[in-house]
Structure 1
Amino acid sequence: MAELRKSAAEKGIARSGKKSSRLHEIVDILRRSDMIHGVTPQKLRIMLEELGPTFVKLGQIMSMRSDMLPQAYCDELKKLRSGVVPMPFETVEEILAAQYGRPAEDVFAWIDRTPLGSASVAQVHAARLPNGQPVVIKVQRRGIHRIMEEDIAILRRAARLLKIVPRAGDVIDFNGLLDELWTVSQQEMNFLVEAEHLERFGALNEDVAYASCPRVYRELSTASVLVMENISGIPIDHLDELRAAGYTLGEIGEKLAENYIKQILDDGFFHADPHQGNIVIRGGKIVWLDLGMVGVLSSRDRQIFRTAMLAITRQDIYELENAIMSLGVLKTKINHNELYEDIRIFVDRYGSSDLQDLHLGKVLGEMMDIASKHQIGMPNSVTMLIRGVLTIEGVLEDCSPETSLMGILANHFSAGVLSMDSAEQELRHLLRKFAGSAEKVSDIPLNLADIIKMTVRGQTKINLELTGSEEPIAKADRMVDRLVFGIIDGALLIGSSMLCTTNMHPQILGIPAIGAAGFFIAFLLSGVLLLDIVRKHK
């Protein structure tokens, strides 16, 4: 039984058929991890690796969410490795036959029995089409949807009982995190989505002489099988091979940075996991592999990104604050004084620096930290952007340390300002804003007339919020309460005294009963007011 548990934990695929068995397996691993005494980043990574490839995949996605997890945990989770035992070739053949409705040998002239790679969701085999074209086949593991769905369901139950990752002053919404992870994983497990990514990426870079991606064989691809062009190039981290082949590493680094900035600012469609294993050099071109995970930025988000970067260089604190708040979602009421001060410190640190010396990933990461501190939630596309920038800067550090992604970004801004297309686009934007403003201006007389009418009728209401004035307002409320008490008390005393001078009946000891009751209530209120004042001064 122990060996069975160990195998299941390592492979993450074997199941006993019962959720309770898998739950027992997970609890056993958690117990060995000694979670009661806290979870360090290293302990969390090791624990996820023991839990199997499903949890490894979740951990890899979690590593991109620095707005949800502390940076130390994100950095450690980036080191996760699958270590998944490959599927038997017979299983691969069965999956292919089920997808095509015919034997694999009827579709492919040859398939290498030894996989090129094996991961948590799929494994890849080299193959050849009947026309002799070399291809690679990405085959999804059988039942991975069900396996991941069951694991996440169990993790939801565990999230209600355990605080897995501590965070000072904040409680992480694990169910929200799991919802997001499940959504991203579902996209990754649908290979037709990756096929669309490859086709779109190829179309966007069709006119770029130095960048490309593998061709997709759409007629042979399904949700569980992806057939692509076999790229036999030199990995970008094989520096000696690149030099021997006559490549200049500095030129590769510069072209790599230029293309990635183009993906972000021009296309709004960028590779979200650009590590060394996903970039090869072939025939003088940078070939981007594995576009299962991409980031998408709307034209609005790209404009805000440009505004934020320019605000840093101009040391414009207000503009940067507006950009951060426009890009994110406010989760709570903002203390603008504290936010302004944090941004001022940030701008003072980077605003006067030479752009060539700045690391774009570090700058974006600190902006994310400021947003997170003030409960400004960033969309998934922004966290993907930061992860992608940090990763590509790591690649550049190895192959071309002198290349600055921030410097390329600055050059891109300069070129954008001078280009006719950019000027025309900006002019259209300004005209739209002017037209909208003109429409609003035309409404001012009508709105002003409505305000005057409501004021005359006594229907005007003004909602006034004074930030940081809660305590003074509370004191004023107490003072007003005492004043009202005193006025009522004085009125009762005066009224009761006047009644006592009359001959009104009924009477108590020769005093009108109503006057006596008024005196009693007045003395009672005076006692309450006196006690409140005495308590206040103690």
Structure 2
Amino acid sequence: MKSTSKISTRARFMQILRILRKYQIRKGMDPVKFRRILEDLGPTFVKIGQIMSTRQDMFSERYCKELMKLRSRVTPMSFDTVKEQIEKSYHKPMSEVFSSFEPIPLGSASIAQVHEATLRDGTRVVAKVQRPYIYEWMERDVGLLRKAIRVLNLSDIVSSVVDLNMVIDEFWTAAKQEMDFTNEAAFAKRFRKTYEDCNFIDAPQIIDAFTTKEVLVMEYIDGYEINDVHTLEKEGYDVKEIADKLAYNYISQIIEHGFFHADPHSGNIRIRQDKIVWIDFGMMGILENRDRQIMKQAIRALALGDVANVVDSILAIGIVQKEIDYIAFTNAIESFMAQYMSESFADMDLAKMVQDIFTICHQFRIGLPKGISMLARSMMTMNGTLIDLDPTTSMAKIVSQHKATLTQIDPSKEIQKTIKRSIEGISRSLDLPVQTSDVLKLIQHGQIKVNLNLMGSEAPIAKIDRMVNRLIVCILIAALLVGSCLICTTDMEPHIMGIPAIGFFMLLIALVMSIWLFIKMFFLHRKNKAF
């Protein structure tokens, strides 16, 4: 590996450049071209595209939808390679851990592949085995991509579509976390602990004794895939009941716990012994408590038709990446609310509603926290899963059941908040005279500058600027005329047409300036009338 790394790195870099030039990237970018480029570049870049498809606050809806088509088509590792990886991770022969190990994988992806196996004690398990040198290869590809961006000046070419350096940074952070399987194990255990008292939700048990950074071993989940409707009905399951429970659980993950499965497609959900079992916790969304509280405020404001509070909630939770036109943003949110608030909450297309909010945020360059940005894609995926299971089930109906808890006011909490704000207000009011004195001293010494930025004030200020300029020209004309008249009363030599030369030229300049100002004002008046 080390002896060929220099040659392989150079060859890989030239391969990346050839692919980028093949698609004539300098001539522009579109969603399909972008997806094809990532597919040709290989697994690392497919993974980047998959991460990008979750960030609808950063990228336009067209690009996110196209990138959702990306699928990692990766050749499976050989059984010998898998065995070598396991023994390297455990520092012991594979036969001392597993009594049997299926050589054909259940699934294969860019980072790892999954095999069915049996432990020495007879426990049926699934082993997720990481590809060898995957960290080194991805690290190399990320470095080469940064270099290719500089060589081809891609940052300027695709700046209107995506901030490439930001995408790479986020991808590499996410990939490093995903390549440490102890993180996924912790997510699975947290999810299982959260719903241990729920009689219809379950998750596989993690086998801690055989879980490392490179190998993840968990309980094997049999049963039926949730989209196998025919088999479920044949076995006596009520698919509508399953759909309702699944939607309810998914919404509770978001609203109540702030810890939700970010890839809820049918392959990650099974039905076993009357329980919905979630599997594969490699991609989980986490909402901080502050973000969840702001989301609840936004939902309450939506329910009450309070545009100002919706706007304030989005700006509070988001990261404004450029100067925002507050009036235009408020108008966009008002139009959005007018579109959806005319129908009942239960009939709303919740996935499209969230996506439309993300579209507005993208339009005004408002970035959102990673957990919230994963919501749009995961909700669209869940919506598809529910439709396949039971077309009559709607997430919005489930949310409407939560809506009462979101819109109601808890009197005890409100009293506590009021008392807290009152104490803070009294404390700050005591400090106010001292702070005012300090500010006045700073102003007196010229140490404070006030920057007043009025949104939408550019046009009025430009008009005032033109008016002042014309006023100055009028004053100059008047000064030249008065000065010329005064000089004409003298016998100053030389003369032109019997008038002192200096007075003559001053009069001529005043005349030219007057004609120029008259023409300027005349044509401006006609232009304004045309509009």
TM-score under structure 2 length normalisation: 0.84
Q: Is the 8 A contact 1:273 1:293 kept in 2?
A: yes
Aligned residue for 1:112? 102
**Among 339, 364, 371, the residue aligned to 2:354:** 364
- Is structure 2 residue 360 aligned with structure 1 residue 373? no
**Among 455, 459, 464, the residue aligned to 1:476:** 464
- Aligned-residue sequence identity (percent) comes to 40
Q: Is the 8 A contact 2:57 2:366 kept in 1?
A: no
Q: Distance in 2 between matches of 1:216 and 1:284?
A: 21
Aligned residue for 2:10? 20
Q: CA deviation at 1:29?
A: 3.6
Q: Deviations over 1:429-459 (max 9, x none)?
A: 4443443334334444555666778899999
Q: Deviations over 1:463-504 (max 9, x none)?
A: 543333334334434554665677789889999999999xxx
- Are the structure 2 counterparts of residues 481 and 148 from structure 1 closer, same or farther at C-alpha, using a change threshold of 3 Å? same
- Are the structure 2 counterparts of residues 369 and 438 from structure 1 closer, same or farther at C-alpha, using a change threshold of 3 Å? farther
- Are the structure 2 counterparts of residues 462 and 227 from structure 1 closer, same or farther at C-alpha, using a change threshold of 3 Å? closer
Q: Is the 8 A contact 1:314 1:351 kept in 2?
A: no
- Is structure 2 residue 238 aligned with structure 1 residue 248? yes
Q: Distance in 2 between matches of 1:222 and 1:88?
A: 21
**Among 397, 402, 411, the residue aligned to 1:407:** 397
Q: CA deviation at 1:284?
A: 1.5
Q: CA deviation at 1:50?
A: 3.2
Aligned residue for 1:333? 323
Q: Distance in 2 between matches of 1:487 and 1:39?
A: 55
Aligned residue for 1:440? 428
Q: Is the 8 A contact 2:180 2:214 kept in 1?
A: yes
Q: Is the 8 A contact 1:15 1:22 kept in 2?
A: no
1:78-117 to structure 2, matched below 5 A, reads 78-117=68-107
Question: What secondary structure does 2:71 align onto?
Answer: coil
Q: Is the 8 A contact 1:85 1:118 kept in 2?
A: yes
Corresponding pairs, count: 513
Question: What secondary structure does 2:47 align onto?
Answer: helix
Aligned residue for 1:236? 226
Q: CA deviation at 1:238?
A: 0.8
Q: CA deviation at 1:357?
A: 1.1
User: Residue type matched to 1:157 in 2?
Assistant: K
Q: Distance in 2 between matches of 1:264 and 1:476?
A: 52
- Is structure 2 residue 118 aligned with structure 1 residue 128? yes
Q: CA deviation at 1:237?
A: 0.7
Unaligned runs of 5+ residues in structure 2 are: 495-499, 524-531
Q: Is the 8 A contact 1:482 1:529 kept in 2?
A: no
Larger relative contact order (C-alpha < 8 A, sep ≥ 6)? Answer: 2
Q: Deviations over 1:390-426 (max 9, x none)?
A: 111111111122222122112113245679xx66555
Q: CA deviation at 1:461?
A: 6.9
Q: Is the 8 A contact 1:312 1:350 kept in 2?
A: no
- Is structure 2 residue 279 aligned with structure 1 residue 289? yes
Q: Deviations over 1:14-73 (max 9, x none)?
A: 989422211232344445545566554344434433332222222211211223333222
- Are the structure 2 counterparts of residues 58 and 532 from structure 1 closer, same or farther at C-alpha, using a change threshold of 3 Å? same
Q: Is the 8 A contact 1:490 1:522 kept in 2?
A: no
Q: Is the 8 A contact 1:16 1:22 kept in 2?
A: no
TM-score under structure 1 length normalisation: 0.83
Q: CA deviation at 1:188?
A: 1.0
- Are the structure 2 counterparts of residues 79 and 519 from structure 1 closer, same or farther at C-alpha, using a change threshold of 3 Å? same
- Are the structure 2 counterparts of residues 526 and 475 from structure 1 closer, same or farther at C-alpha, using a change threshold of 3 Å? farther
Moved more, 156-165 or 398-407: 156-165
Aligned residue for 2:167? 177
- Are the structure 2 counterparts of residues 23 and 232 from structure 1 closer, same or farther at C-alpha, using a change threshold of 3 Å? same
Q: Deviations over 1:203-250 (max 9, x none)?
A: 222222211211112222111111111111211111112112222111
- Are the structure 2 counterparts of residues 88 and 428 from structure 1 closer, same or farther at C-alpha, using a change threshold of 3 Å? farther
Q: Is the 8 A contact 2:477 2:513 kept in 1?
A: no
- Are the structure 2 counterparts of residues 430 and 206 from structure 1 closer, same or farther at C-alpha, using a change threshold of 3 Å? farther
Moved more, 59-68 or 347-356: 59-68
